[in-house]
């Protein structure tokens, strides 16, 4: 065995011997007691007393309006005077009177003692060596159960247990306060009324428990204890009402009309009990206690039913109320005088209360987690549905696009075919005009037919360009004017004229034909009247948004302006002013400049 182990073994042995010596040296105290329950304050006869079991000095009558008398003979078998504490471990006993020998009466209890030294009613006894002390207790409790353990303990032990009980209750109160603060913050943040009802229920529950454990009466003055003792029924009713309101809100019982109707009936019945069985004329706290017991079991059964019908966030709620069922069932059995468990373990009810409050708070957390899972599941379903609809829409769009593309191709083909046929028809007309021109005898007639032929060719060239290109709605004016100029020069057997075309615009079919006819008329006049050495033609066409500017420069003899009333100029003016809805300006020096402005 190592040195450290030997040292530890010696220390343990020392303390065991010391404790054994102290225990063996401690004086022996014995208590013999008997009790009698009387309906009047008069002391009952000696024959009415019933002996206590020496090993279990416990009394439990439940709610009782009688007077309890206890005779106790306390013997000190030791050789020295002892100081002992006579303790009754029920902090809610209202009236406890003690008479020992010839000493004056002493008083303790909830309604008689103002700043008591311990949580429980207690009396300090001085026991003479080898002597016997006869004591008589008078105990009465109207508003609370008449239940307690009678014991004789060392002052140090009593103080130690009292401080330990104080600390444990304070610890549980701190946890309940933390849950209450959290519930208040969550209510202010989320505006969920369930948190407010939970907070009210937690307050009612805590208020009841700090009274039940004797913690509140220990720190409050006598007048408050007397007032608090009168409102037992309202406090229990408040617990039932706040618990029912919280359950209705959290479980959303409005979806189940019958269950919700029962909750409303419980609330009304609990409130009705305050004036009926909680007054000085008729005081029956047992009714309210039994109502609370029935409500606890109903609330648990309703939560299980609602959970099985789809409300999955009720599972922690069910766990909390199952735990509460066990604790309150034992507490109510204590209050009715059937068992005596809770008074033997006063911290148990506080522990059950804290665990139940924590489970109810976890129910909120679980509800948020379930909502989050439902949200993710709905988002997933929404995304799947959205993708499915998107795929269907894309398929429909692709199908419609193919159909429209096919229809567009057919339309373009039809337009090309139309322009091709119009061009062929115009060529047929031109062939007829040429035949007519050959048979014409007069020169003027031939010239007029030649002019007509040029106008028709202008239109024919436009349709020819449209069916030869993919774009069937607009005409490239530069290509169109170059072709038109080439055709006019060939028709008049002119090969030495120079043509300058600066144009980078496109026009719709209608406007392109009118521009071509205007240029055809102006060029025809210029070719007819131009001097031999002046053979330059120029066209400049520009665009600014929807406004177009056409400038045509043609050669001419000095002071030889084309006749304004001639057929050619008349056609030009009609085309500019009426068809294009534009303006025309002409100027002449070494050549003729015609400026035309119009808007498409």
For residues 530 and 275, what is the distance between their CA atoms, to the nearest angstrom? 125
Confidence band for 342, pLDDT divided at 50, 70 and 90: low
Least confident of 18-22, 106-110, 165-169, 252-256: 18-22
Of 111, 136, 153, the position where a domain reaches its end is 153
Q: Between 98 and 546, name the one with better pLDDT.
A: 98
pLDDT tops 70 at residue 5 = no
Q: What is the mean pLDDT of the chain?
A: 80
**What confidence tens digit (pLDDT) does each residue in 262-273 have?**
999 999 999 999
Whether residue 121 sits in one domain with residue 229: no
Q: Between 4 and 150, name the one with better pLDDT.
A: 150
Stretch 507-525: mean pLDDT: 82
Helix (H) / strand (E) containing 580: none
**Residue at 305 is within a domain:** yes
Stretch 591-596: mean pLDDT: 85
For residues 246 and 192, what is the distance between their CA atoms, to the nearest angstrom? 11
Stretch 284-292: mean pLDDT: 83
- pLDDT > 90: what percent of the chain? 10
Structure tokens at 11: 């220390």
**Residue 138's pLDDT is what?**
93
Closest to 194 (Cα-Cα) out of 353, 366, 378:
366
Q: Are 480 and 465 in contact (CB under 8 A)?
A: yes
**What confidence tens digit (pLDDT) does each residue in 297-318 have?**
898 899 999 988 878 878 888 8
Q: Are 354 and 325 in contact (CB under 8 A)?
A: no
Q: Are 324 and 303 in contact (CB under 8 A)?
A: no
For residues 415 and 328, what is the distance between their CA atoms, to the nearest angstrom? 93
Whether residue 256 sits in one domain with residue 129: no
Whether residue 146 sits in one domain with residue 168: no
**106-108 and 95-100 strand pairing:** antiparallel
**Residue at 370 is within a domain:** yes
Whether residue 578 sits in one domain with residue 494: yes
Confidence band for 339, pLDDT divided at 50, 70 and 90: low
Whether residue 205 sits in one domain with residue 169: yes
Closest to 314 (Cα-Cα) out of 325, 323, 302:
302
Beta-carbon-side half-sphere exposure of residue 185 (alpha carbons within 13 Å): 7
**What confidence tens digit (pLDDT) does each residue in 51-93 have?**
888 777 888 887 778 899 999 988 888 888 889 999 998 888 8
Of 118, 153, 188, the position where a domain reaches its end is 153
**What confidence tens digit (pLDDT) does each residue in 411-439 have?**
777 666 666 667 676 676 767 777 666 66
Which CATH number do you get for residue 566?
3.30.565.10
Whether residue 178 sits in one domain with residue 147: no
**Residue at 497 is within a domain:** yes
For residues 491 and 484, what is the distance between their CA atoms, to the nearest angstrom? 11
**Residue at 477 is within a domain:** no
Stretch 542-559: mean pLDDT: 82
Beta-carbon-side half-sphere exposure of residue 581 (alpha carbons within 13 Å): 4
Stretch 18-34: mean pLDDT: 60
Whether residue 137 sits in one domain with residue 207: no
pLDDT tops 90 at residue 536 = no
pLDDT tops 60 at residue 3 = no
CA-only gyration radius of the chain, Å: 57
For residues 193 and 396, what is the distance between their CA atoms, to the nearest angstrom? 48
**Residue 19's pLDDT is what?**
43
**Residue 16's pLDDT is what?**
46
Whether residue 301 sits in one domain with residue 200: yes
Stretch 186-198: mean pLDDT: 88
**Residue 495's pLDDT is what?**
59
Sheet holding 29-38, edge to edge: 50-51, 29-38, 67-76, 132-140, 95-100, 106-108
pLDDT tops 50 at residue 20 = no
Full-model pTM: 0.58
**Residue 332's pLDDT is what?**
67
Stretch 390-411: mean pLDDT: 84
Stretch 17-43: mean pLDDT: 68
Q: Residue 494 is part of which domain span? A: 488-600
Residue 195 neighbours by CB under 8 Å, 6+ apart:
183, 184, 186, 187, 364
Domain count across the chain: 3
**Residue at 63 is within a domain:** yes
pLDDT tops 50 at residue 220 = yes
**Residue 356's pLDDT is what?**
82
Confidence band for 349, pLDDT divided at 50, 70 and 90: confident
Whether residue 302 sits in one domain with residue 212: yes
**Residue at 229 is within a domain:** yes
Pick left, alpha or beta for residue 501 (phi over 0 → left; psi -120 to 50 → alpha; otherwise beta).
beta
Of 120, 153, 186, the position where a domain reaches its end is 153
Confidence band for 400, pLDDT divided at 50, 70 and 90: confident
Stretch 554-562: mean pLDDT: 65
Beta-carbon-side half-sphere exposure of residue 520 (alpha carbons within 13 Å): 28
**What confidence tens digit (pLDDT) does each residue in 476-509 have?**
888 878 877 777 776 666 656 777 888 888 888 7
Whether residue 369 sits in one domain with residue 229: yes
**Residue at 440 is within a domain:** no
**Residue at 435 is within a domain:** no
Whether residue 211 sits in one domain with residue 105: no
Whether residue 147 sits in one domain with residue 172: no
Return the HEC string of 377-399. HHHHHHHHHHHHHHHHHHHHHHH
Confidence band for 325, pLDDT divided at 50, 70 and 90: confident
Stretch 108-124: mean pLDDT: 85
Structure tokens at 119: 């949580």
pLDDT tops 60 at residue 561 = no
Residue 442 sits at φ, ψ, to 5 deg, of -85, 145
């Amino acid at each position: 065995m190592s040195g450290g182990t030997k040292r530890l073994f010696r220390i343990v042995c020392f303390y065991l011997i010391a404790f054994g010596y102290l225990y063996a040296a401690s004086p022996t105290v014995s208590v013999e007691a008997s009790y009698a329950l009387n309906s009047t304050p008069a002391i009952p006869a000696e024959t009415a007393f019933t002996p206590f079991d020496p090993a279990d000095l416990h009394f439990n009558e439940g709610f009782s309006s009688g007077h309890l008398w206890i005779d106790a003979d306390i013997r000190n078998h030791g050789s020295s005077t002892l100081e002992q504490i006579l303790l009754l471990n029920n902090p809610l006993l209202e009236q406890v009177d003690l008479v020992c020998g010839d000493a004056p009466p002493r008083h303790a209890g909830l309604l008689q003692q103002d700043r008591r030294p311990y949580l429980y009613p207690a009396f300090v006894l001085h026991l003479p060596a080898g002597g016997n002390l006869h004591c008589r207790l008078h105990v009465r409790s109207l508003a609370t159960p008449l239940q307690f353990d009678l014991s004789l303990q060392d002052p140090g032990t009593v103080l130690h247990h009292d401080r330990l009980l104080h600390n444990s209750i304070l610890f549980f109160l701190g946890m309940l306060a933390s849950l209450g603060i959290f519930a208040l913050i969550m209510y202010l943040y989320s505006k969920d009324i369930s948190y407010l009802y939970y907070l009210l229920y937690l307050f009612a529950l805590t208020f009841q428990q700090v009274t039940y454990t004797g913690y509140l009466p220990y720190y409050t003055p006598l007048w408050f204890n007397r007032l608090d003792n009168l409102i037992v029924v309202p406090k229990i009713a408040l617990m039932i009402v706040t618990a029912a309101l919280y359950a209705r809100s959290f479980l959303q019982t409005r979806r189940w009309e019958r269950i919700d109707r029962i909750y409303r009936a419980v609330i009304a019945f609990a409130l009705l009990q305050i004036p009926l069985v909680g007054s000085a004329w008729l005081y029956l706290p047992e009714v309210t206690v039994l109502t609370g017991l029935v409500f606890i079991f109903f609330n648990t059964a309703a939560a299980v039913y609602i959970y099985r019908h789809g409300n999955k966030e009720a599972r922690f709620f069910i766990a909390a109320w199952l735990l509460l069922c066990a604790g309150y069932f034992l507490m109510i059995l204590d209050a009715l005088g059937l068992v005596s468990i809770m008074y033997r373990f006063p911290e148990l009810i506080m522990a059950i209360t804290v665990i139940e409050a924590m489970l109810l708070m976890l129910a909120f957390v679980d509800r948020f987690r379930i909502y989050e899972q439902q949200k993710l599941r709905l988002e997933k379903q929404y995304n799947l549905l959205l993708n499915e609809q998107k795929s269907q829409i894309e398929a429909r769009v692709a199908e419609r696009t193919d159909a429209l593309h096919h229809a567009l191709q057919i339309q373009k083909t039809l337009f090309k075919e139309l322009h091709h046929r119009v061009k062929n028809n115009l060529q047929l007309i031109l062939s007829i005009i040429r035949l007519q021109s050959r048979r014409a005898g007069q020169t003027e007639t031939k010239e007029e037919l030649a002019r007509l032929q040029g106008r028709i060719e202008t239109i024919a060239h436009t349709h020819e360009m449209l069916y030869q290109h993919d774009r069937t709605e607009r005409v490239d004016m530069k290509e169109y004017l170059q072709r038109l100029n080439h055709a006019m020069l060939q028709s008049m057997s002119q090969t030495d004229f120079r043509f300058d075309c600066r144009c980078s615009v496109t026009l719709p079919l209608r406007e392109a034909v009118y521009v071509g006819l205007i240029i055809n008329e102006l060029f025809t006049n210029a070719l007819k009247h131009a001097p031999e050495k002046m053979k330059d033609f120029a066209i400049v066409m520009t665009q600014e948004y929807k406004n177009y500017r056409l400038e045509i420069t043609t050669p001419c003899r000095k002071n030889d302006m084309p006749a304004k009333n001639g057929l050619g100029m008349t056609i030009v003016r009609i085309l500019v002013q009426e068809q294009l809805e534009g303006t025309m300006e002409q100027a002449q020096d070494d050549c003729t400049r015609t400026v035309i402005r119009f808007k498409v």
